[in-house]
Structure 1
Amino acid sequence: MKIAKLSVLRPIAMSMVIILMLILGAVSMRGMPVDLFPELTFPIVAVTTTYEGAGPEEIENLISSPLEDAMSTLPNVESVTSISRTGGSLVLVSFTWGTNMDFASLDMRERIDSVRDFLPSGANLPRVLRFNPSDLPIVQLAITDPSGEMTKAKQLAEQDIEPQLSSVDGIASISVEGGAENEVRITLDPNALSSFDVSIDQLQQIIAAENLNLPGGSLTDQNQNLPIRITGEYASIYDIQTLPIPTPKGVIQLDQLGEVKETLQPTTQLSYLNGEPAVGMSILKQSGSNTVTVANNIEEKLEEIRKNLPEGVEIKPIFDQSQFIEQSIRAVTTNMIAGSLLAALVLFFFLRNIRSTLIILFSIPVSIVATFIFMYFSGQTLNLLTLGGLALGIGMMVDNAIVILENIYRLRQKGYSMKDAAIEGTSEVGPAIIASTLTTVIVFLPIVFVDGLAAQLFKPLALVVSFSLLASLFTALIIVPLFSSLLLKVNTNTSRFEERFTGFTNWYRSILEKVLRNPKKTVTTIVILFLISLIGIPFIGKEFLPQQDQSFISMTVRLPDGSSLDATYDVMEEIDSRLSDIKDIDLAFVTVGGTDNFSVSAGTQTNRANYSILLTPVTERSRSDKLVGDEIRKKLENIPGADISLSSGDSGFSQNPVSLSITGPDLTTLKGMADETVELLTEIDGIREPSSNYTEGNPEIVVDIDRVKASQFGIGSAQIASAVSNATKGLVASRMARDGAELDIRLTIEDTYTASIQDLEKLLINTPTGENIPLQAVATVERGQGPSQINRTNRNREITVNADIVNRDLGSVIDDVEQTLKENIYIPNNQYKITIGGQDEQMNDAFFKLGGALALAVVLVYMVMAGQFESYFYPFIIMFSVPLTVIGIITGLLVTGQPLGVGSLVGMLILTGIVVNNAIVFVDYVNMMKRDGKTTWEAILIAGPTRLRPIFMTALTTILGLIPLTLGFGEGMEIQQPMAIVIVFGLSFATIITLVLIPVVYYLFDEFKEKRKLKKLEKLDA
């Protein structure tokens, strides 16, 4: 080939090109961001709105329903789901994959603007939030203070630590949760208010109006123009206590109406680390920034901050994604190096020539560097999947180089000079390796047309494998001939290995002769093997993506709706005491009340506690995070009233393993079906924590206003609601600045009227005439039961049943679930449905799309070979090697106990392009021999032994290069392991059978072709 000839004849120029490549590759590698996974774009957008004090039914009618109606008319909307709970609404809009989410978000904001005027005046403006796994915190910290003064800890976090961390490059935002804040609380005496004829609203206006610094113009004094500043802001609590309040009975001080003191704000959220009060901090990185670099910079800044912390205050990491990334990348790199060394051993084992081995070994880093250059300019990041693709490509990188080097070495043994052998050897097999590389690269083209989560995950991997193969083709055609022309020497003495391999080659030739004499028996035997392997399919499980052990467990504890923060705290203490016996737990951070950092939510949830449990590193544990989670379940299973759910190994983009959606018009019927479903799921092996998202209801107090009576007193519903709200939660009148912080000034009523329902009935309400009347005079107050939350999907009532799975594959569990529901659940009519979603839905979608991509890849491989051979006949013969991989794939999955998943399917896709390579090299050489005048029989018997060594070498380097990934050593190898298993076992079996079957099929088809030619000639003669 001309390019090989140029590299051989211009060694100095080519050496300069290689040096420039190495420099550019090093710069590219350093310039690429490092992350756990590629940045994903999810077609889900959330709209959150808060409306303090409103119940779920009011939220549904006043907020969720208008937003649903507005969102449902957007283009490309797949579903609209709403969750209405006390104090807030969450509307999730799912778009079809492939939708431009930037434009979709803009459309949503426009629709929100169109309905904003129809929302209640007290509701906050709806916020549009894009869901993206990269928006999850990369670092979580806990700040503890042994003194227990969490007001100081939170103040330290917000005013000192957060501003310093915000200066770190790459940080997008920092949120602080837990702790406590001070406020100035004015607890008013209702009798005093009544006596002086003052209302809370009047006090609020006076306090706010007096707390101002205002400009007063300017004046000229002694030739100076001086601005006038009127200072009226409160400087201390004394200023508030002595604030003059005008009343109908004269001016009094504020403290005559009640007690004024500094105290803690009422809170709905508390945080603890290993049982001790703590303040939590969650840090998010900017999109496209290097996770590891940002996390390292955070740690450096924390070291500076720790030096100036008050005595006893500690900052402890709860979760650091960079640690798992570094461990995973280290494991992938180690596997790459191990694979390279194993490939080198294969080369030396076959060639017994140190110079040949060094030539191939040098081609690996050159190929890797070229791959990094491609990755950098295509905008890829260094993550588990791109580096996994590079690790997959290591074994294949040397295939092209081996074929060319072996051919050059063979010609050198025949007496060719180094330059002539390099040029001639590359020219002979160059077209074949170009074809074989293209067949491997072309299999990834269908992934470009596949959408969905699986495609987004594996497109970067496919790109990197393609880049690595194209880079290896470059090194094979240029670098290998160059160094062979300068360094390659042959062994003059025949080694013992050469003698043994010659004996093996002769044995293979005798096998070839036998199978060519009995072609039908050979084909029948292999077909029987193929059919036997198919029997193993039902015994192979199915999964979406393998779980990853990140040494982190997330746990949610829910108490009955309406449970107070104190009740949830008591349960947390019980849980902490039980967790203290588990040795694999390093630390446990819990947020009591509110919501967790890893989910988009809205509303008040004082009945909830969210645990972030950090385990000891994988290398220091004898069991997986799943098994640790199972022990936690057993320890906590007898806590009364607590509904506990765990998740581990979650990458942030997988749904619940088991998720059933039950829809229909009647909530009572849906509840009965959901309860029955939960009971049935409990009996299925491998299922853990089945639960529904329906709860009995939220205890509430209903104030039913009698509008006729209220109108007789000259008051309305709004005035009554305001009075009740002010009495129960108070009213923030203003804020007082002190020491760089601002304290709320809150007006509250003594709990005389809020200790019980009977006391609330006596709450005094001011009338326009100045009369104070009790609440019971215009309203009925009674205890009621309201729903805790209302869920709807596409405007239908919905109850969802979710469950986790342990020690079983997803496919087998779902099969049992379907069978159990079919036999035991009665569905009243067509209005009710039970739909299986979650990971099963994701898995089926991925299997369907990747299956289509696999079928298209087979067609593309055939088309590439047809163009290379300029014939439809020889590619058809080569394609017989593809179905043979099924034997190895099924055997490999059964032997390793690995279920069939997205990773396995991607492995099959790669295997489709690899497995034909050996057949291409074989068939190409047979055709070459036939062009030299040999018969088909002679050509096969020459090509088989001649191509045996390069076929074995290329197969073994690929297989051994993937062995470390197959064994799954190190963190983060769970995703690459299924791909490696499929390729290793599929290629192993296919290589052995290809050496026998392809020659037989070639012989049969060539014989058939010759017979057809003879018949045509006979017809022409006739």
Structure 2
Amino acid sequence: MLERLVAFAVKRWLLVLGVTLIVAIYGWRCFRALPVEAFPDVTDPMVEVVGIYPGQAAEEVEQRVTIELERSLAGTPGLIDLRSVSVFGLSLVTLTFNEQYSSFQLRAMVSERLAQVDLPESASVEMGPEATPVGQIYRYTLRGPRSLRELRSLQQFTIEPRLRAVPGVADVVTFGGYERRYVVRVDPDRLAAYGVSAVEIHDALARSNRNAGGGYVGVGGQEFVVRGLGVATTPEQLGLAVVRELEGVPVRVMDVADIVEGSTPRRGAVGLDRVDDVVEGIVFLRRGENPSEVLDALRARIDQLNREVLPGEVEIVPFYDRQELVDATLETVGKNLAEGLLLVLLVVYLFLRNGRAVLIVAIVIPLSMLSAFIGLHAMGLSANLISLGAIDFGILVDGAVIVIEATLHALPEPRAPGVKREQVLRRTVVGVARPVFFSLLIIMVALTPIFTLERVEGRIFAPMAFTYGFALLGALVAALVVVPALESALMSDPVESREPRWLAVLGRGYVRALRAANRRRLTVLAILPLATLALIGAARDIGSEFLPELNEGGFYITSVFPSTISLDETGGHVSEARERILTVPEVRGVLSHIGRPEDATQAEGPNNAELFVKLARERDWRPGVDRKVLEDEIRAALAPIPGVQHNFSQPITDRVFETISGIIGQVVVKVHGDDLEQLTQTAEEIRAALAEVEGVTDLALYQAGSIPQLRIDIDREELARRGLTIDDVQTTVSIALGGAVATELWKGSQRYSVALALPQGVRADPEALARLTVAQTDGPPIQLGEVAKLSTPLGRTSIWREDFSRFVAVKFNVRGRDLGGTVAEVRETLEQLPMPEGVYPSLSGEFENKDRALKRLAITFPVAMLAICGLLFANFGRARPVLCLVAFLPIALAGAVAGLHASGENFSVSGAVGCIALLGQLVLAGVIICAAIDRRAAAGVGPERAMLEGARAAFRPVLLTCSLALLGLVPAALAHGMGSETQRPFAIAIVAGLLTVTPALMLLLPLLYGGGRPSTPADSTTPSEA
């Protein structure tokens, strides 16, 4: 079949090139339509359920809402993990699924179960947006000479709906500023004077603000729609609502309360640089959408809003645009690929000294890449930093170079009369087609373990494996079909093919070295195990990690203050933190979040702050400054702020860590149990023990503090004597203190809530609260203090749960040491700590991805090696070459790991994938050497001469293909630009492995495979060394 394919390509070269052009044009269109990301969305499918229980403490939220939600949602098909957090008024339940079901199916199943959950009457539940945790692709603020309340209204009613309508946008979250509402400010003294309770005011407002429909009536020959208009349009109209009648005189709302324009109570705030309060919008990408396309449409819509919709003095100012990260990382990838391409073409010319050969190779490279884009487009996959950065042009052109090298060697040789150039070309390509086919097929098979990776690691590396596999498939077709067609078109007689002088000198030295080594064959072959052991010893203490941290061009600092701190007090400290961070010259902006927005999508309290530090491009940094220096300078700048714990991360990295464990931190120790006080005490002991572990930084308990509560304990006996119910008191507390919404006020298309509230002075005074009217009887009004006792104990700020059990978390990051070694020591430390009965710790974090990936590779890698051995056996038809090639696997792997260690890299999944790709290149070079020796042996020459002449014939193609593969990745191995961190271990593993195994293969494989056999008369003639 290969012979017929090659013959067709040589004879019908014009047709082949025409079809190739059509495929290339289609590949270019696929590339233009291909989503390009800086970093793939690695998170598991997730659905977030938001339960709102207004005014309730964390304990009530957990008991009445969270546990009920967990019971209903447990057992949802495909569920991997169920986590929750309960805070004041809010329950967040996060469900993590496998990829068995689509996002639509998962949300449908969750929605079905939510419909059956039994919640308190005042509680509500909904699903979060169809976004991913790393879907925050755009952040902006509003700037203009308007009040924060006006800017918030513009954002909420003008900007947010229009941005939500952009295709691919999952949600737009508004944060900061003041949300306008109308407040019915109740006066307790006037309530007492009129004998009116807050509950009555609430009910009066609700009854006095609605429209009614009366159907239609016929009048004469016409029909009239009946509308009963009773909706208030002004606060004054609401004030006219009658509460009750007292001695024949109506008591109106305006008699006992003032209706004023106010704001929804805030649980968070946003600051930017030296401005303490701004309005921000955060745009979320829908799962599976093309971020570049969505961002293009989003920017166009924002430009339209700035030009045509917003008031002239108000504008949307971007702070974070994910496309900047995409562009910066692709710039690094593009630079590495361009340098690798130039090196590959230079090497081809240096070895072959033929301009047409270089041209053919230059054509094969884009054809291979376009093949990859066609495959990715067909599978609906995206291109990203890792998948594109792993492409080695040298490996892609190996097959084409072998074909071209054989052709250049064969065409100039004298031909028998009547033998045409096309026949020589066909015979030559067919002669190398089988080893080329099997070699590239083996490289593709070597990638199969990567396809078996699961969850996070699978989403990171599967696109890379698919990209590489499709590119290799395109390279294989190009080598066996397109290259012969191009040779027919471009390589006319005579063909210039002279071996460079430097290569001839090396070849002669190579043959002399082989002959000398063959005389001491066993001694020389001992180099193989000894060198392998030496490399293993050099790399024995290498550290391990999942992936090097991607440089996102900024810092994301999470700061935790004492749990009892107020929003205003936190704001003062955060303002100081922004001012201090801005003193670092490389900082271009600082955006801060305190607490959470009003839409209840987050569980953070006023003691939690997040600072998004935007940095200048690295080329603009001070000489000698790197990320570690900047982190140290920012830490030093923040050190004087008292009572705060900082966690340094990056925006995407931070969210990825949070999705793994539910906690913001690289590694998390979760202390499980029931008694929160006991759990907190145990967590403190663990924290103290882990403080002694090398590499542990940013160590702290995660949101485990307490908060003062105003507790109202109802006296049931007194309540019964007065003829009241628990509901009478609780309704009063909920309405008067909880700020319950009574009704709404519409202004055009804008809707504002109307809520009751006591004056701040009364709310903060337990004695004044005790005088609050609960109910009116025939006698004096019954006050709250008569039927309940008010106290101020401490309660929990948040309650975290996982798999139906409470836990308290100890989180930390790892700096200055490898992740694997640190986690191993942490495990040993935990095993030595005694745990109370019913309490047990568990470890979670990024290292789980590494452990899971390496365990999977430990199973699938040997299977892939067996498959490769089977292909080798199919190619050679006997076991000897297979066993000889397998003997070189250990030194290749040891050299790769030693190279990683010498360059300061830890052994990561990226490095492991590089080792897998390296083995394919090893097999390719080995097949060339063994096949060349076999051809000489088949010609009837003696064993030693077959070994020497075969090795000499393979010298140029092996040295050329290995040099191409090595030099094609040198730019990536040496790169330090943004985005280079994740591809560098992959490149270093291949480069270091090739530097180690190539000399070993060229010197020792001929001895192991073809040397040492008895000499025959055919060996008496000295083989040519030229």
The reply to whether TM is greater than 0.5 is yes
Gap runs ≥5 in structure 2 = 1016-1026
Matched, 1:1000 2:999: no
TM-score, length-scaled by structure 1? 0.92
1:47–1:129 Cα contact (<8 Å) kept: no
1-side partners of 2:837 and 2:257: how far apart? 63
Q: What displacement does 1:959 show?
A: 1.0
Matched, 1:734 2:743: yes
For the residue of structure 2 that corresponds to 1:900, the secondary structure is coil
Could you say which residue in structure 1 is the equivalent of 2:510? 508
- Change in 2 beyond 3 A, CA 1:69/1:213: closer
- Change in 2 beyond 3 A, CA 1:966/1:1002: same
1:543–1:899 Cα contact (<8 Å) kept: yes
Could you say which residue in structure 2 is the equivalent of 1:638? 640
Residues paired across the two proteins, number: 997
Listed as ranges, the matches of 1:212-291 within 5 Å are 212-216=210-214, 218=216, 224-243=222-241, 246-249=244-247, 250-276=249-275, 277-291=277-291
Could you say which residue in structure 1 is the equivalent of 2:534? 532
1-side partners of 2:458 and 2:252: how far apart? 70
Could you say which residue in structure 2 is the equivalent of 1:487? 490
Could you say which residue in structure 2 is the equivalent of 1:395? 394
1:184–1:744 Cα contact (<8 Å) kept: yes
> One-letter code of the match for 1:997?
L
- Change in 2 beyond 3 A, CA 1:877/1:506: same
Deviation per residue, 1:753-776 (Å, 9 max, x gap): 423122222222114546412222
1-side partners of 2:787 and 2:598: how far apart? 41
For the residue of structure 1 that corresponds to 2:807, the secondary structure is strand
- Change in 2 beyond 3 A, CA 1:939/1:889: same
Matched, 1:447 2:450: yes
Q: Which residue, 888, 895, 905 being the options, matches 1:888? A: 895
Matched, 1:125 2:151: no
> One-letter code of the match for 2:139?
Q
> One-letter code of the match for 2:834?
I
> One-letter code of the match for 1:144?
R
Could you say which residue in structure 2 is the equivalent of 1:207? 205
2:198–2:773 Cα contact (<8 Å) kept: no
2-side partners of 1:54 and 1:1005: how far apart? 85
Could you say which residue in structure 2 is the equivalent of 1:1020? none
2:14–2:485 Cα contact (<8 Å) kept: no
Could you say which residue in structure 2 is the equivalent of 1:421? 424
Could you say which residue in structure 1 is the equivalent of 2:881? 874
Tell me whether 967-976 or 792-801 shows the greater mean CA deviation. Answer: 792-801
2-side partners of 1:969 and 1:488: how far apart? 41
Matched, 1:957 2:955: no
Deviation per residue, 1:889-941 (Å, 9 max, x gap): 13311221111001001111111222110110111121222222122222111
Q: Which residue, 915, 920, 926 being the options, matches 1:908? A: 915
2:521–2:1012 Cα contact (<8 Å) kept: no
Q: What displacement does 1:160 show?
A: 2.4
> One-letter code of the match for 1:151?
R
Tell me whether 672-681 or 963-972 shows the greater mean CA deviation. Answer: 672-681
Matched, 1:460 2:463: yes
Q: Which residue, 449, 471, 476 being the options, matches 1:473? A: 476
Deviation per residue, 1:246-285 (Å, 9 max, x gap): 5123125432222232233332222221132211111123
Q: What displacement does 1:140 show?
A: 1.0
Q: What displacement does 1:197 show?
A: 3.5
2-side partners of 1:1002 and 1:703: how far apart? 88
> One-letter code of the match for 2:294?
V
Could you say which residue in structure 2 is the equivalent of 1:701? 710
- Change in 2 beyond 3 A, CA 1:78/1:253: closer
2-side partners of 1:508 and 1:909: how far apart? 29
For the residue of structure 1 that corresponds to 2:278, the secondary structure is strand
2:195–2:776 Cα contact (<8 Å) kept: no
Matched, 1:187 2:185: yes
1:418–1:486 Cα contact (<8 Å) kept: no
2-side partners of 1:479 and 1:781: how far apart? 86
1:549–1:618 Cα contact (<8 Å) kept: no
For the residue of structure 2 that corresponds to 1:543, the secondary structure is coil
2-side partners of 1:1007 and 1:457: how far apart? 53
Q: Which residue, 757, 779, 786 being the options, matches 2:766? A: 757
Could you say which residue in structure 2 is the equivalent of 1:323? 324
1-side partners of 2:186 and 2:503: how far apart? 99
> One-letter code of the match for 2:293?
T
Could you say which residue in structure 1 is the equivalent of 2:1018? none
- Change in 2 beyond 3 A, CA 1:121/1:493: closer
2:54–2:738 Cα contact (<8 Å) kept: no
Could you say which residue in structure 1 is the equivalent of 2:982? 975
- Change in 2 beyond 3 A, CA 1:767/1:1007: farther
Gap runs ≥5 in structure 1 = 1009-1022
2-side partners of 1:184 and 1:82: how far apart? 33
Listed as ranges, the matches of 1:612-1011 within 5 Å are 612-622=612-622, 623-648=625-650, 650-651=652-653, 652-654=655-657, 655=660, 656-664=665-673, 667-693=676-702, 695-751=704-760, 753-769=762-778, 771-821=780-830, 826-828=833-835, 831-1003=838-1010
For the residue of structure 1 that corresponds to 2:564, the secondary structure is coil
Q: What displacement does 1:507 show?
A: 1.0
2:129–2:171 Cα contact (<8 Å) kept: no
Q: What displacement does 1:707 show?
A: 0.5
Q: What displacement does 1:1004 show?
A: 6.1
Q: Which residue, 2, 5, 26 being the options, matches 1:3? A: 5
For the residue of structure 1 that corresponds to 2:411, the secondary structure is helix
Deviation per residue, 1:281-302 (Å, 9 max, x gap): 1112333332112212222332
2-side partners of 1:167 and 1:113: how far apart? 27
1:561–1:699 Cα contact (<8 Å) kept: no
> One-letter code of the match for 2:562?
P
Q: What displacement does 1:861 show?
A: 1.0
Q: What displacement does 1:352 show?
A: 1.3
1:857–1:909 Cα contact (<8 Å) kept: no
Could you say which residue in structure 1 is the equivalent of 2:1023? none
- Change in 2 beyond 3 A, CA 1:731/1:57: closer
Q: CA RMSD in A?
A: 2.8
Identical pairs, percent: 24
Q: What displacement does 1:955 show?
A: 0.8
Q: What displacement does 1:398 show?
A: 0.9
1-side partners of 2:583 and 2:916: how far apart? 47
Deviation per residue, 1:424-451 (Å, 9 max, x gap): 2101111001110111001122333332
> One-letter code of the match for 2:68?
P
2-side partners of 1:295 and 1:81: how far apart? 32
Tell me whether 316-325 or 661-670 shows the greater mean CA deviation. Answer: 661-670
Q: What displacement does 1:746 show?
A: 2.3
Deviation per residue, 1:158-205 (Å, 9 max, x gap): 222223334433323222111213222222223333333433333333
- Change in 2 beyond 3 A, CA 1:360/1:979: same
- Change in 2 beyond 3 A, CA 1:851/1:551: same
Could you say which residue in structure 1 is the equivalent of 2:590? 588
Could you say which residue in structure 1 is the equivalent of 2:1020? none
> One-letter code of the match for 1:461?
M
Deviation per residue, 1:566-623 (Å, 9 max, x gap): 12212222222322312222111122222699x9644x71222222222222332354
> One-letter code of the match for 2:327?
E
> One-letter code of the match for 2:921?
I
1:109–1:128 Cα contact (<8 Å) kept: no
Tell me whether 329-338 or 828-837 shows the greater mean CA deviation. Answer: 828-837
- Change in 2 beyond 3 A, CA 1:850/1:98: farther
Q: What displacement does 1:476 show?
A: 0.9
1:553–1:625 Cα contact (<8 Å) kept: no
Deviation per residue, 1:70-104 (Å, 9 max, x gap): 44545665554332322222334455676877666
For the residue of structure 2 that corresponds to 1:413, the secondary structure is coil
Could you say which residue in structure 2 is the equivalent of 1:521? 523
